[in-house]
Structure 1
Amino acid sequence: MTTGGQVVDLVARSRRLADLAERRLASEPRAPSARERARRLRDHLEGFVLPRAADIDAPLLVVLIGSTGAGKSSLLNAIAGANVSRAGVLRPTTREAVVYASPDDVRSLREGRLRRVPAERLVVAAATPTSAGVAIIDAPDIDSLERDNRALADTLLEACDLCVFVTTATRYADLVPWNVLERIRQRQVPLAVVLNRLPTDAADREIVIADVTRLFADHGMTPANAGLAILRVDEGEVDADIDALSREATRPLADRIRALREASAERRTLATQALAGAIRGLAPLAGDVAADLESEAAESEGLRRIAEEAYAAELRQLSTELRSGVLLRAEVLRQWQEFVGADQIARFMSSGLARLRGMLLFAIRGTPPAPVASVEESMASSVEALTLRHVSEAARRTARSWSEQRDTSDLLARDPTLWSASPETAPALRDMLRDWMHAVIDDVRGASGRKHAVARVAAIGVNAVGVAVMLAVFAHTAGLTGTELGIAAGTAFVNQKLLEAIFGERAMDELVAQAGRRLDEGLEAIFARDRKRFDDLVADATALRQLAQDLRDAVEDLAA
């Protein structure tokens, strides 16, 4: 990582991984924990790896972290030799981090590793130019009740070259700090520990120190593998004049920071060590983000499957009901029967189909005009109402199932219309039915050009024959007699025989089947359009899995 070409290559590979992390965040992870891991990966790359790889000689960043009241601000005051950070009750819930650095170093950090931190979240305590080379930040409490404070502390942790963990003899075993320390271990960032307020009794002090050392060892952090150094500060070792820990007690840390300021070679060594550890530490975090992606892909598939099955079931039920023969109101069906002369056609049936064809013109002569408009209107409104009922039921079933799933209830809360058919479904359905009816009429026109059918279609009218085909889609007798299903079956019977008389059985079947297929395709498209609302709420599983693989490939390439 020392040659110019190696640096450029490292920056390019780091940029690729950072872009992938940004894409993950843009996909809006549903689980808060997954969102947090993706943010941490992005911030670590943007806040440390990229700027540090691009400029290994940039100022070192030392971050002081710890729980509320641990003594971080008092430690910074001791290092600075002045009251530069308010401590105790004066700063228990602050939203700012205090940066103690020379003006040039502050500018460099704001343009680099701290550029994602809002300016108002950083309070600068200007150090003298002789302090250049090392910047120290007193971070917000890692156990703060305010999420923004914890997030800022996490961001600063991802950006640092050296972490100083400040704790006390009574709070060193708290859970929250150890969760943060686990991230420090993963990052392999150099770590120093300030154990504050130790008992003045020597035996009690050694018990605490031994237990702290054991806890760090249990978490895989020792002086050998983590550069761990524990600085001990007894209870009462303070400098009240500057609201600081005792400068004598904290001298080893202050001397170490002073040595780093004075020796650029040592700074470079520490920066290189921190960068190498950061790159090695990317693998676990990137692996966790990739695992989150794969888990979300499986969840997305499951959620989409719920919607797919609910809409498919309701579409099947709709198809069954549409072909049940009872779609239209009885009075509309009677009008149609009167028009086609159902009684006469039934009587002619006893003479055979050939006789029926011969008497077709006679059968309809003198009948009232075809009730095409009223039948079409009734047919369209009935299909629309029934379809909307089933689409709404499909949406309700999907929403109910989704509301029982983890991390999806908030998706439903954002859009209450998901519990029924979308507002756009009814207009789209009306357009589809209008187009379908026009297509059926066009099919009849095409079929009426066949031999023997011209006069028969002309006698009744293309539109009327088209209505007969449409009715046949919804109620085809399939062998029923005219008295088995009342008026609905009677209409089906009349239509079937009328169409057979006009076109012949085979041509009739083709017309009705084609009309049925077109209707099914149109309804399927309506259901798919409405279901798409749910599909769009979850990320594409294939894209998520590809992003997971890209992340794994990129981190392996970076570590190579």
Structure 2
Amino acid sequence: MPSRLESALTELRAAVSPVRLPLVLPGAAEKQATVREITSQLDDYVLPRLATIDAPLLAVVGGSTGAGKSTLVNSLVGRRVTAPGVIRPTTRAPVLVHHPLDSRWFIDDRILPGLARSSGAAADSRAIQLVPEDTIPAGLAILDAPDIDSVVSENRQLAAQLLAAADLWLFVTSAARYADAVPWDFLLSAADRSAAVAVVLDRVPPQAMQEVPAHLGQMMTDRGLGESPLFAVPETTVDATGLLPASAIQPIRSWLASLARDSASRAEVVHRTLDGAIAALVRRAPTLASAVDDQLEAVRQLRDEVDHSYAEAVRTVGVQTADGTLLRGEVLARWHEFVGTGEFFRALEQKVSWLRDRVVAAFKGEPPGAGNLKVAVESGLEALLREQGDAAAERAEASWQAHSAGRELLQRSPEDLSRSSRDFAVDTARTIRDWQGAVLELVADEGMSKRSRARFLALGVNGVGVALMIVVFAHTGGLVGAEVGVAGGTAVLAQRVLEAVFGDQAVRRLAETAKEELDSRVEALMSQELLRYHRILDGLGLDPEQAVRLREAADGVERARAEGLPRSAGNGEQQLPAGEERRAIEAPTVRQVDLQTGSAEGPNDIVDAEIVEERPASQRGELR
């Protein structure tokens, strides 16, 4: 049954894995890489190691191109098991060397489940070549990784993946390149998550054996790796099989053998690295949550900006369809035609009531000009809606252009969002026709229920309908009387005509209803245009609850980690308190002494070919 810590880490993976940061924001690409790194760390190392805490210690040998990793691995094993060379990159597929008794730990996908297993040399970098070798003590496995600075990107990625799956980093650099930036990026990453690290400084010229290792040791101290062992391998020649002299790598072989032989020391190394990896995951998860928050905030901002653009279009149309703006031009000319030239306006001030009766009496059946007026209203209203729709699109597009994430979305969109959609003109015409139809239905329902039905029938549905539309277009403009000009006179006359049919209260109610109907249809029309932007934002797939889940999962892991890591798969109740490692890697069981000074090696002291061990050779249990 999974431990509480395993369950918490599984929940963390479930929270991290689906995180997507699609908007181009500062740091988003780095945080998206963090998603991959966290899931890979959990899959390749943390969860498999927790489930098999007794598995052999995995030491991954990594480093820069030409540092001598493969030569070191071959020399530690005592024969050529991985191919060094002068043509770079040389390491094609990772090679894992282990004791035959430990084969069961590596033939399945316990670690690095995404990599296939091979028993022979493989050119496929996504396969691990397994090499059983009885010169490797049981409890230890050595993996030769590709170059961390390989010219092949797949090799660099694989090297990083393998190092992240290591219990112990055996980091190889050379006297000529130990200060390079790329190796230090990896070493600082190791320091950040308290990984167990040992550094091998290879190919040190004899005359620089004191100066160069000391300088590297100081750099390690300054960067948080002051307690990590540092081994200096002198520049020397290899034998006919390409192996280094035994004396050159004896301290490394002995130190690794001591870890393999001592189960307690081996367990401490595993627990230190595992606990450090879990702690790093707990620290990084909230930064992902913050990145998700940033994405959601950017989406909210982008959405608000386009919403505001189209809300302004709806507001403008609402104002200009009620303040008399439309009562001019073609609409005004057709109204004149409809009511019988300008004598109505000349007489309006003096004889409104007489004019009202005359108009009503004059119209028998469908009045002439009603159809033309209806078309003029439709045309004027359509021009207004199209103008405001285009203006809203321009404002929305400009607001996104001012935002880096918005610019990226505009570039990716297959549609030109700087203008209205191709269907907008057709949709606008349909919206207006539908509104006019609704107005006609409205007056028809009202007219047939009134005692003034004869007057209604005399004007006809179209005549009454267009008169109501005229009233709507000046409904909230406060136009009362001829002194406000032609627009006011037009609206007042239309209102008087309608009052003669329906009465004043009914006219106000009908005008309010018709205006609300128009505003509602205009809002729906603009909303349809606005959906183009919303669909883009919704298509990003951002989950508003994702940040909450990340933080809760990280808190759950931290609480479970505080209870301690299991000491043994077979005895889960024995726990190692988080953060209380015994520094097995810094203080190996085999104590090493410099014969020239007689002093014991402390943290970050240089271990070179001159150093031997205090114990007799028969007790060293070293690599043979």
TM-score by length of 2: 0.75
Q: Could you report, residue by residue, the CA deviation over 1:463-495 in whole angstroms, capped at 9, with x for unpaired residues?
A: 443343334444545326668666x66654543
* DSSP-derived class of the 2:201 partner: strand
The aligned counterpart of 1:448 is 447
Q: Could you report, residue by residue, the CA deviation over 1:363-417 in whole angstroms, capped at 9, with x for unpaired residues?
A: 4348425216634652564244224312321332133222xx2x55433221152
Moved more, 169-178 or 539-548: 539-548
Out of 538, 556, 559, the residue aligned to residue 558 of structure 2 is: 556
Contact kept in structure 2, 1:142 and 1:176, CA below 8 Å? yes
Please state how far the C-alpha of 1:198 moved relative to its aligned partner: 1.9
Moved more, 477-486 or 157-166: 477-486
Moved more, 543-552 or 40-49: 543-552
1:167-316 aligned at under 5 Å gives the runs 167-201=173-207, 204-223=208-227, 228-235=228-235, 237-239=236-238, 241-258=240-257, 267-316=266-315
- Once residues 442 and 110 of structure 2 are traced to their aligned partners in structure 1, the CA distance between those partners, rounded to angstroms, is 70
Contact kept in structure 2, 1:301 and 1:541, CA below 8 Å? no
The aligned counterpart of 1:24 is 19
Please state how far the C-alpha of 1:456 moved relative to its aligned partner: 3.5
- Once residues 309 and 243 of structure 2 are traced to their aligned partners in structure 1, the CA distance between those partners, rounded to angstroms, is 66
Please state how far the C-alpha of 1:545 moved relative to its aligned partner: 4.0
Out of 124, 136, 147, the residue aligned to residue 141 of structure 1 is: 147
Describe the shift of the 1:517–1:163 C-alpha distance in structure 2 as closer, same or farther (beyond 3 A).
farther
Unaligned runs of 5+ in 2: 118-123, 563-624
Please state how far the C-alpha of 1:232 moved relative to its aligned partner: 0.8
Q: Could you report, residue by residue, the CA deviation over 1:417-475 in whole angstroms, capped at 9, with x for unpaired residues?
A: 23333456556555544543443334334443564554443333334433433344445
Moved more, 103-112 or 294-303: 103-112
Q: Which amino acid aligns with 2:231?
A: L
Instruction: Say how many residue pairs are matched.
Output: 544
Q: Which amino acid aligns with 1:295?
A: D
Q: Could you report, residue by residue, the CA deviation over 1:220-274 in whole angstroms, capped at 9, with x for unpaired residues?
A: 2232xxxx11111122x34253445554323333344455566666554433333
- Once residues 451 and 515 of structure 2 are traced to their aligned partners in structure 1, the CA distance between those partners, rounded to angstroms, is 25
The aligned counterpart of 1:368 is 368
The aligned counterpart of 1:411 is 409
Describe the shift of the 1:12–1:479 C-alpha distance in structure 2 as closer, same or farther (beyond 3 A).
same
Q: Which amino acid aligns with 2:88?
A: R
- Once residues 261 and 389 of structure 1 are traced to their aligned partners in structure 2, the CA distance between those partners, rounded to angstroms, is 74
The aligned counterpart of 2:162 is 156
Out of 534, 537, 540, the residue aligned to residue 535 of structure 1 is: 537
Q: Which amino acid aligns with 2:557?
A: V
- Once residues 246 and 97 of structure 1 are traced to their aligned partners in structure 2, the CA distance between those partners, rounded to angstroms, is 24
Contact kept in structure 1, 2:12 and 2:554, CA below 8 Å? no
Please state how far the C-alpha of 1:191 moved relative to its aligned partner: 0.8
Q: Which amino acid aligns with 2:63?
A: G
Contact kept in structure 2, 1:21 and 1:38, CA below 8 Å? yes
Please state how far the C-alpha of 1:340 moved relative to its aligned partner: 3.6
The aligned counterpart of 2:64 is 67
- Once residues 463 and 513 of structure 2 are traced to their aligned partners in structure 1, the CA distance between those partners, rounded to angstroms, is 18
Out of 102, 126, 132, the residue aligned to residue 128 of structure 1 is: 132
- Once residues 87 and 472 of structure 1 are traced to their aligned partners in structure 2, the CA distance between those partners, rounded to angstroms, is 92
Q: Could you report, residue by residue, the CA deviation over 1:495-514 in whole angstroms, capped at 9, with x for unpaired residues?
A: 34433443344433333333
- Once residues 105 and 297 of structure 1 are traced to their aligned partners in structure 2, the CA distance between those partners, rounded to angstroms, is 48
The aligned counterpart of 1:469 is 468
Contact kept in structure 2, 1:79 and 1:250, CA below 8 Å? yes
Q: Which amino acid aligns with 2:142?
A: I
Moved more, 90-99 or 291-300: 90-99
Describe the shift of the 1:428–1:479 C-alpha distance in structure 2 as closer, same or farther (beyond 3 A).
closer
Q: Which amino acid aligns with 1:219?
A: R
Contact kept in structure 1, 2:348 and 2:482, CA below 8 Å? no
- Once residues 368 and 386 of structure 2 are traced to their aligned partners in structure 1, the CA distance between those partners, rounded to angstroms, is 29
The aligned counterpart of 1:390 is 391
Moved more, 430-439 or 154-163: 430-439
TM-score by length of 1: 0.83
Please state how far the C-alpha of 1:16 moved relative to its aligned partner: 0.3
Out of 10, 29, 37, the residue aligned to residue 34 of structure 2 is: 37
The aligned counterpart of 2:54 is 57
Please state how far the C-alpha of 1:314 moved relative to its aligned partner: 4.2
Contact kept in structure 1, 2:201 and 2:233, CA below 8 Å? yes
- Once residues 547 and 327 of structure 1 are traced to their aligned partners in structure 2, the CA distance between those partners, rounded to angstroms, is 54
Q: Percent identity?
A: 33
Out of 76, 79, 86, the residue aligned to residue 82 of structure 1 is: 79
* DSSP-derived class of the 1:231 partner: strand
Is 2:353 aligned against 1:358?
no
Please state how far the C-alpha of 1:194 moved relative to its aligned partner: 0.8
Contact kept in structure 2, 1:186 and 1:284, CA below 8 Å? no
Moved more, 470-479 or 38-47: 470-479
Describe the shift of the 1:244–1:295 C-alpha distance in structure 2 as closer, same or farther (beyond 3 A).
farther
Q: Which amino acid aligns with 2:247?
A: E
Contact kept in structure 1, 2:60 and 2:168, CA below 8 Å? yes
Contact kept in structure 2, 1:341 and 1:364, CA below 8 Å? no
- Once residues 246 and 457 of structure 1 are traced to their aligned partners in structure 2, the CA distance between those partners, rounded to angstroms, is 115
Describe the shift of the 1:245–1:314 C-alpha distance in structure 2 as closer, same or farther (beyond 3 A).
farther
Describe the shift of the 1:506–1:428 C-alpha distance in structure 2 as closer, same or farther (beyond 3 A).
same
Out of 3, 7, 30, the residue aligned to residue 8 of structure 1 is: 3
Contact kept in structure 2, 1:194 and 1:232, CA below 8 Å? yes
Moved more, 367-376 or 256-265: 256-265
* DSSP-derived class of the 2:113 partner: coil
The aligned counterpart of 2:514 is 515
Please state how far the C-alpha of 1:21 moved relative to its aligned partner: 0.7
Describe the shift of the 1:297–1:149 C-alpha distance in structure 2 as closer, same or farther (beyond 3 A).
farther
- Once residues 346 and 516 of structure 2 are traced to their aligned partners in structure 1, the CA distance between those partners, rounded to angstroms, is 33
Contact kept in structure 1, 2:71 and 2:244, CA below 8 Å? yes
Describe the shift of the 1:555–1:26 C-alpha distance in structure 2 as closer, same or farther (beyond 3 A).
farther
Contact kept in structure 1, 2:99 and 2:132, CA below 8 Å? yes
Out of 48, 52, 60, the residue aligned to residue 45 of structure 2 is: 48
Q: Which amino acid aligns with 2:5?
A: L
Please state how far the C-alpha of 1:14 moved relative to its aligned partner: 0.9
Q: Which amino acid aligns with 2:213?
A: I
Describe the shift of the 1:127–1:490 C-alpha distance in structure 2 as closer, same or farther (beyond 3 A).
same
Contact kept in structure 2, 1:480 and 1:493, CA below 8 Å? yes
Contact kept in structure 2, 1:77 and 1:242, CA below 8 Å? no
Q: Larger radius of gyration, structure 1 or 2?
A: 2
Between structures 1 and 2, the one with greater helix share = 1
